[in-house]
């Protein structure tokens, strides 16, 4: 029996199963579905998006990390150790989302257009040991050639060629990762290109981006090893008035080029949720990649919590039966709190919201809706909110050999005092 579990806890779980069964929900089926979900944790939460390149370039790209909480990972080994602790506190088996800037260059710095699989061998070996999958991202920021905020859309052909070569190298690395680990690696392309003030020419940069992406994706690679995704954004710091890679641009590109469309929960208007976009876009694109984040006014990268927006996202995925077509990843960074705790809070919150959605009596609710009984539909949805989800979640944690409740925080605190506090 795990620490903190008891016969009382098991009794609470059995009562919870009865409560859910009374409204037509199968708890065991929901838990089985949840156990099959993999979330791709974002490596950049652990070191404030710094990576391991020997460069003094500003982060840029509309990205900003605030806070100076002690214990930031400064090496790949430290980062991997921190991620492993987070995995031990999150139920289920999950993935890691790796940026190209996190390669390991022990002898000399290699510029981004010349990176190859050898620079990620440490990550691949580590993932094999943990039996997890890796996802990948070319890094189009924090580099001297990105200082203007323009990369694939740059007017200078040589600069565009450099970034195209970086994107091509990243795809090959992702394909090698997928081949080595036996699970497809999603390679997600996001660029920061845009304009702080309103440009005169909006079509020119988009035409250059389309051509650059076509060249970047030109090489045929095995989809069993690598899957290509493209990510849109509404605005960012330095691109408040115009982002080249808008939602409309990438939606059209993904549809016409058969790519995965990446929707980031923090990349749209503060009052706009990506949940309503899921069912529409999946009519036209094969799959979606969701970067689950939390927007607060202008800042899109707060630690994920279980709020109404997250509930709407997970409900839409489950109600539409999209779990097989939607890939889930995290995208946030907060240096004002313990970085490991941020991973755990964000991932557990996402999984709790998914569990709540999986426990809905979907068939019953859909039948009521089709029969026109909207009164019963609304009544049941409201009654459902007070069913004992906590007992089911704690039991799932127990089955997964991770702490339930807030007990995981004691483990993070111990690690903070014995490991993080000793880092300079």
Task: Note if 422 is an active site residue.
Answer: no
Task: Note if 231 is an active site residue.
Answer: yes
Task: Note if 327 is an active site residue.
Answer: no
Q: Which of 264, 309, 316, 360 is labelled catalytic? A: 264
Burial (CB < 10 A; 0-12, 13-18, 19+), residue 267, is buried
- Torsion sign over Cα 158, 160, 162, 165: negative
Q: Which of 47, 287, 301, 316 is labelled catalytic? A: 301
Asked if 43 contacts 102 with a C-beta cutoff of 8 angstroms, the reply is: yes
Q: Which two tokens stand for residue 184?
A: 């497809």
Q: Which of 331, 334, 360, 394 is labelled catalytic? A: 331
Distance CA 326, CA 323 (A): 5
Query: Is beta strand 95-99 parallel, antiparallel or unpaired with respect to 134-137?
Result: parallel
Distance CA 17, CA 11 (A): 10
Task: Note if 190 is an active site residue.
Answer: yes
Task: Note if 7 is an active site residue.
Answer: no
Q: Which of 299, 302, 306, 416 is labelled catalytic? A: 299
Q: Which of 99, 154, 291, 327 is labelled catalytic? A: 291
Task: Note if 291 is an active site residue.
Answer: yes
Task: Note if 44 is an active site residue.
Answer: no
Q: Which of 119, 233, 352, 395 is labelled catalytic? A: 233
Asked if 288 contacts 260 with a C-beta cutoff of 8 angstroms, the reply is: yes
359 sits in which H/E element: none
Distance CA 310, CA 303 (A): 12
Task: Note if 267 is an active site residue.
Answer: yes
Q: Which of 17, 94, 166, 267 is labelled catalytic? A: 267
Q: Which two tokens stand for residue 251?
A: 């939606």
What DSSP assignment string belongs to 170-209?
A: HHHHHHHHHHHHTSPEEEEE----EESS--S-SHHHHHHH
What DSSP assignment string belongs to 73-84?
A: --SHHHHHHHHH
Q: How many CB atoms lie within 10 A of CB 36?
A: 10
Task: Note if 277 is an active site residue.
Answer: no
Q: Which of 190, 343, 393, 408 is labelled catalytic? A: 190
Distance CA 201, CA 205 (A): 8
Q: Which residues are catalytic?
A: 190, 231, 233, 264, 267, 291, 299, 301, 331
């Amino acid at each position: 029996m795990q620490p903190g579990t008891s016969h009382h806890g098991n009794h609470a779980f059995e009562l919870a199963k009865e409560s859910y069964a009374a409204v037509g929900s199968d708890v065991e089926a929901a838990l089985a579905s949840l156990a099959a979900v993999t979330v791709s944790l974002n490596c950049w939460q652990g070191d404030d998006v710094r990576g391991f390149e020997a460069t003094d370039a500003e982060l840029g790209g509309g990205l900003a990390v605030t806070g100076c909480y002690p214990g930031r990972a400064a090496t790949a080994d430290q980062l991997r150790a921190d991620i492993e602790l987070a995995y031990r506190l999150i139920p289920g088996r999950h993935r890691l989302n790796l940026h190209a800037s996190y390669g390991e260059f022990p002898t000399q710095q290699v510029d981004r257009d010349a990176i190859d699989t050898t620079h990620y061998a440490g990550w691949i070996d580590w993932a094999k040991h943990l039996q997890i999958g890796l996802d990948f991202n070319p890094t189009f920021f924090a580099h001297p050639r990105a200082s203007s905020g323009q990369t694939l859309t740059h007017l200078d052909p040589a600069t565009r060629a450099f970034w195209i070569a970086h994107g091509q190298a990243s795809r090959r690395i992702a394909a090698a990762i997928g081949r080595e680990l036996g699970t497809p690696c999603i390679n997600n392309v996001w660029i920061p290109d845009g304009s702080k003030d309103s440009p005169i020419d909006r079509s020119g940069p988009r035409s250059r981006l389309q051509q650059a992406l076509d060249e970047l994706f030109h090489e045929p690679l095995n989809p069993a090893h690598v899957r290509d995704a493209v990510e849109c954004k509404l605005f960012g710091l330095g691109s408040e008035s115009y982002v080249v890679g808008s939602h409309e641009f990438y939606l059209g590109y993904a549809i016409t080029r058969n790519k995965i469309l990446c929707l980031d929960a923090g990349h749209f208007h503060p009052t706009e949720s990506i949940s309503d976009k899921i069912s529409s876009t999946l009519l036209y694109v094969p799959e979606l990649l969701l970067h689950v984040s939390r927007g607060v006014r202008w800042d899109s990268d707060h630690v994920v919590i279980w709020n109404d927006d997250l509930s709407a996202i997970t409900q839409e995925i489950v109600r539409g039966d999209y779990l097989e077509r939607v890939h889930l990843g995290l995208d946030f960074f907060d240096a004002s709190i313990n970085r490991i705790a941020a991973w755990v809070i964000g991932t557990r919150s996402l999984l709790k919201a998914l569990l709540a959605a999986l426990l809905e009596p979907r068939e019953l609710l859909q039948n009521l809706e089709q029969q026109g009984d909207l009164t019963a539909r609304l009544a049941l949805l409201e009654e459902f909110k007070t069913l004992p989800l906590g007992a089911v979640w704690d039991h799932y944690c127990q089955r997964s050999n991770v702490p339930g409740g807030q007990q995981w925080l004691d483990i993070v605190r111990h690690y903070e005092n014995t490991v993080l506090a000793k880092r300079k």
